[in-house]
Structure 1
Amino acid sequence: MNIVLAASEAFPFCKTGGLADVVGALCQQFASRKNNKVLLFLPHYRNIVRVSSLKIVPGVYLIPVGDKIEQVSLSYINWGNVLVFFVGNRKYFDRDGLYRTKSGEYPDNDERFILFSRAVLEGCKFIGFRPDLIHCHDWQTGLIPAYLKTVYKLDAFYTRTRSLYTIHNIAYQGHYPYSSFRKAGFHPVDYTPDKFEYYGGISFLKSGLVFADNINTVSPNYAREVQSDPAMGFGLEGLLRYRADHFCGIVNGIDTEVWDPEIDPVLPVGYDASEAVRGKLAAKLALQQQCKLEQDPDKPLVGIVSRLDYQKGLDIALNLMEQFKDRVQFVVLGMGDPMLEKAYQSLARNNAGKVSYNGRLDEDLAHRIYAGADLFLMPSRFEPCGLSQLIAMKYGALPVVSRVGGLVDTVKGYDGANEESATGFFINQFSEKGIAQTLEEALKAFGDKKVWNRLVKNAMRQDLSWDKSAQAYLDLYRKTVI
C-alpha cells in the first residue's frame, strides 16, 4: 500500500507534544510491514533536527493562497524505511516556533496550513507518488480530505486516493473567519453548514471530519466521550454522531525503543520489572540530586511531565502541592500558560528542596523523571489518550489519573483488593479534595512495600508498544481504501 502521512510535527524532527510521538512511531510501524511504502510530509521549520543529510528535490512548484502565489520546495531524508519530505517556504515556516510566539498564535496560521495542505497534494504529484491513502492528523491537515473531495475531485491522479483523519485533541479546531475559506480556494457553493460553514467562519478540523473517508481518535473511551458529552465534543459532537459509522477509537502506544528503562542511556542504571527496586532507587537519588531536592530515598516523589494548561488540571495541582509538600517531593517539567509557569516558579522558589519546577523542553530530564518518580500525576479535565501515563508505567512510576478519555482505557485503578492486576490510581472526583483523597490512597499503598512492588511490576510488564495499535490502523487503512 502506498501511504502518505501528513502532520505538522513528528518526532524526532519537530515536536511540541504527543502528536509528534504518535506520528513518528506510526511511520516506523507502517514501514516495517511488508508491501507498504510510507512517505511523511512535514513543514520545513527553522529548527528541524536530524536533517544534516537532506537531499533536495530539483525545482519548485506553486501553491495559491488567496490572491497570492507561493513557491514551495521539497527536500527529503531517508529515515529507515520512511521517506520524510519537508515542505519548504521561508515566508511561512522559517520561524522560531512551530505555531506561536510567547505572545500568542501566529496570526497567519491559517495561510501557513492552507499552503502546507495543498503542498502535500501537489508535492505527491511533483514527485510522482500516487497514494492509496493519506493519513491526516489534527486541525493543521484538516483541509486535505476537503481538497480531495472538492478541488481535486476530478483530478485523475487522485481518483483512487482515500483519506483517514485522526483527531488527537478536538479542543484545537483551527477556527478562522470566512476570509480564510476564500484563501483556501474552495468554491462558495460549498460554504454550507453541512460542509464548510462553521459559526460564520471555517474550522479546519470540522472540514476534515466532514470530508474524510474515515475518522478515528486516539482511544475508544475518548471516541465515546466526544460524541456524547458537549463538554468533551467542543461543539462537534453532533457531527461525530452523524458520522458514527465511519468513526472509531484506537488507543496510542509508545515507542519502546525510545522508552525502555532497561537500556535508557540517561539513567544511572538500567532496570526491568524484576530489578525495579534497585533501578528506581538509583534513578530517584540521581533525580533528587539534579533537581536539588532533599536526598531521601524513603520520601515519595511525584513527577509531572506536561504542557501547562487548563486541560491538564495543573491549576488545581498547585494547591495540592502546597498541601502535601512536607510529606511528598514534586518534580515538574513543562511549559505553557504564562500564568501557570509563574505560579510554579513561585511555588518552587518558596519550597526549595521540596518542589522543583523546570520550565523548558528537556527530553533527558523527562526520562529521568519517569524513572525517578514513585507516582506520576495527571489530573486532566479531559485526555484524548495520553502518552505520559504509558511511559510512566513502563518506567514503574504509578500514574494518578482522572477517569477520562484514554486514561480509562490504559490504566487499571487500584481499589485495595486487586493488587494482582492494578497499575495505578483513579481520581474519582475531579476537585482538589478528590485529587487529594486519591493521592492519600496512593501514599498508603506506597507504605506497604509488598503491595507497592507488586503494582510497579504490574505496570512495567504491560504491553505498551505500538504493535497491536499499528495493526488496528492498518486494518482501518484497508477498510478505507476498499
Structure 2
Amino acid sequence: MIPKAEKIKVLYVMQEITPYLDESPLSNIGRYLPQGTQESGKEIRTFMPKYGQVNERRNQLHEVIRLSGMNLIIDDADHPLIIKVASIQQARMQVYFIDNEDYFQRKGIFHDKNGQFFEDNDERLIFYARGVIETVRKLGWPPDIIHCHGWFSSLVPLYIKRVFKDNPLFSSSTVIYSLYDDFFEDMLNHTLVKKLKFDKIKEVDLKNYRNPDYIKISKAAIKYSDALIFGSEKINPELEELVRNTEKPLLEFLGDDNYITVYNDFYEKLLKHKRN
C-alpha cells in the first residue's frame, strides 16, 4: 500500500483579517488566502493580533486554556500569553488570536486617540512574533511554509532564522514575507535593540534594528525571508528596489482574480526547489 503524501503545512501570520477588522486589501487577503489554501488540500494555521477593536462577543472568540498561560519575558518583564480562537463557519477555518492585557486591550490598533504612534509598538511586535511561534511549538505543528503579511509580522522571519533555527519544528520552514502599501512615518522605540538582545539575538543581526522605522524593519524582514511577494500594487520605492536586487524568489503583485492559485503554485515551487 502506497503511503499517502503528507499535506503541505502553511502557517499564516497576518496583520489583519476581515471580518474581525474592517475590510482592506490586507484584511481581505487575510480572510480568503488561508481558506483557498486549505481548499487546495493543504493544512493551515492562521494567526492575527487580538486588537482591542476585535469584538469578542460578536465574533465568538474563546480562550484556549491549553495553549494559554505562558509568560513571555520582554525587557525583563513578564507578559502573559493568552490564546483565543474563533471560527469563520462558511470557510470552515479557525483563526488564532494572540492576546495580552498590556498590549492588545486598547481601542487603537497602532495609534492612540490623538493619532500618536504607541510607544510600545516595538514590544507589541516582539510579543506577537514570539506568541505565534510559541503557540505553534505548543501545537507541535511543523510548518513547511511560514507566510508573513504586513509590517506587524516583520519580526517573525528574524526569530525563525536566528532564535529558532535549530528547533526541529522550524529548521526546514520556508519563510515568505508579503510587502504591502502600509508605510508609517513614525519611529519605533529605540530600545528595540536592547529588547531583542534579551532574546540572544547577536550583534551582527541587531544592527538592522538600530533607529528602527518602517524601512529598517521591512529591510530586515526581507533579509531573513527566503522568498518575497508584492501584496500591493504600490510598494515603497526603496524597498521595491532592494527586493528586485536580491537573488530571492519574487512574486509580483497580482489583482484580486487568481492570486490564491498563483500563491499556492509559488509555495509548491519553493518547496520543490528546496527538495531538489
Classify the TM-score, shorter chain: 0.7 to 0.9
2:244 to 220, 237, 241: 241
1:45 and 2:54 aligned: no
Kept in 1, the 8 Å contact 2:83–2:99? The answer is yes
- Residue of structure 2 aligned with 1:71, choices 80, 83, 89: 80
Partner Cα separation in structure 2 for residue 53 and residue 67 of structure 1:
30
Q: Give, as a single letter, the amino acid of the residue that structure 1 aligns with 2:64.
A: I
Task: Kindly provide the CA deviation profile for residues 459-482 of structure 1, in whole angstroms up to 9, marking residues without a partner as x.
Answer: xxxxxx4xx211110111123333
* CA apart distance, 1:170: 5.8
Alpha carbons 1:174, 1:205 under 8 Å: kept:
no
SS at the partner of 2:51?
coil
Contact 1:153–1:159, Cα closer than 8 Å, also in 2: yes
Q: Once the two structures are superposed, what CA deviation does each residue of 1:193-214 show, in whole Å capped at 9, x if it has no partner? A: xxx256x446322221111110
> Which residue pairs with 2:194 in the alignment?
182
Kept in 2: contact 1:6–1:42 (CA 8 A): yes
Identify which of 16, 27, 44 aligns with 2:34.
27
What residue in structure 2 maps to residue 54 of structure 1? 62
Q: For residues 165 and 159 of structure 2, what CA distance do their matches in structure 1 show?
A: 8
Give the CA deviation at 1:242. 2.6
Structure 1, residues 48-86: CA drift from partner, whole Å, max 9, x if none?
234225352324112222222211021212323322101
Q: Distance in 2 between matches of 1:238 and 1:197?
A: 20
CA distance in 1, matches of 2:117, 2:16: 16
Determine the structure 1 residue equivalent to 2:17. Answer: 10
Give the whole-Å Cα distance in 1 for the aligned partners of 2:185 and 2:45. Answer: 25
AA in 1 matched with 2:86 = I
Once the two structures are superposed, the pairs formed by residues 167-246 of structure 1 within 5 Å of their partners are 167-169=179-181, 171-172=183-184, 175-184=187-196, 185=199, 186-192=201-207, 196-197=208-209, 200-201=211-212, 203-218=216-231, 222=234, 232-233=236-237, 235-246=238-249
Equivalent-residue separation in structure 2 for 1:240 and 1:174 (angstroms): 22
Give SS of 2:47's match: strand
SS at match of 1:14: coil
Q: Per-residue displacement from partner, 1:103-130 (whole Å, max 9, x unpaired)?
A: 1221111111110011111110112222
Q: Hey, what's the Cα distance between the residues in 2 that align with 1:250 and 1:28?
A: 20
Paired with 2:43 and 2:185, the residues of 1 have a C-alpha distance of 30
In structure 1, what residue type is equivalent to 2:263? Answer: Y
Counterpart CA distance in 1 for 2:248 and 2:137 is 31
SS state of the match for residue 27, structure 2?
helix
Structure 2 spans left out of the alignment, 5+ residues: 1-7
Checking the alignment, whether the CA contact within 8 Å between 2:86 and 2:94 is kept in structure 1 is: yes
* Secondary structure in structure 1 of the residue aligned to 2:95: strand
* Deviation (angstroms), 1:143: 0.7
Q: Could you tell me which residue of structure 2 aligns to residue 142 of structure 1?
A: 154
- Distance 1:175-1:475 versus aligned 2 partners, 3 A rule: farther
8 Å CA contact 2:47–2:96 kept in 1: the answer is yes
Q: Using the alignment, how far apart are the partners of 1:127 and 1:173 within structure 2?
A: 37
* Distance change in 2, residues 1:176/1:45 (3 Å): closer
Structure number with greater CO (CA < 8 Å, separation at least 6) is: 2
Deviations 1:312-358 (A, max 9, x none): xxxxxxxxxxxxxxxxxxxxxxxxxxxxxxxxxxxxxxxxxxxxxxx
In structure 1, the partner of 2:112 is 101
Question: Which portions of structure 1, spanning 4 or more consecutive aligned residues, are displaced by more than 6 angstroms?
Answer: none
Residue identity matched to 1:44: K
Tell me the alpha carbon deviations over residues 104-160 of structure 1, each in whole angstroms, 9 at most, x when there is no partner: 221111111110011111110112222111110111111101111111111222112
Give the 3-state SS of the residue equivalent to 1:239 in structure 2: helix
Contact 1:38 1:83 (C-alpha < 8 Å) held by counterparts? no
Q: Distance between the aligned counterparts of 2:185 and 2:227, measured in 1?
A: 18
Quote the sequence identity (%).
22
Which AA in structure 2 matches 1:189? V
Q: How does 1:48-447 map to 2 (within 5 A)?
A: 48-49=54-55, 50-52=58-60, 54-58=62-66, 59-79=68-88, 80-103=91-114, 104-169=116-181, 171-172=183-184, 175-184=187-196, 185=199, 186-192=201-207, 196-197=208-209, 200-201=211-212, 203-218=216-231, 222=234, 232-233=236-237, 235-253=238-256
- Aligned residue identity for 1:470: I
Q: CA, structure 1 residues 151+470, in 2 after alignment: closer, same or farther (shift >3 Å)?
A: same
Gaps of at least 5 residues in structure 1 are 227-231, 254-464
**Cα 1:163/1:245, change in 2 over 3 Å:** closer
Whether the 8 Å CA contact 2:192–2:209 is kept in 1: the answer is: no
Q: Is 2:85–2:96's contact at 8 Å kept on the other side of the alignment?
A: yes
The alpha-carbon distance between structure 1 residues 11 and 170, as it changes in their structure 2 partners (threshold 3 A), is: closer
Cα distance in structure 2, aligned partners of 1:176 and 1:45: 18
| Between structures 1 and 2, the one with greater helix share | 1
Letter in 1 for 2:50: H
Aligned residues: 254
* Residues 1:139 and 1:53: Cα distance change in structure 2 (over 3 Å): closer
Q: How far off its partner does 1:8 sit?
A: 2.2
Contact 2:222 / 2:243 at 8 angstroms: preserved in 1?
A: yes
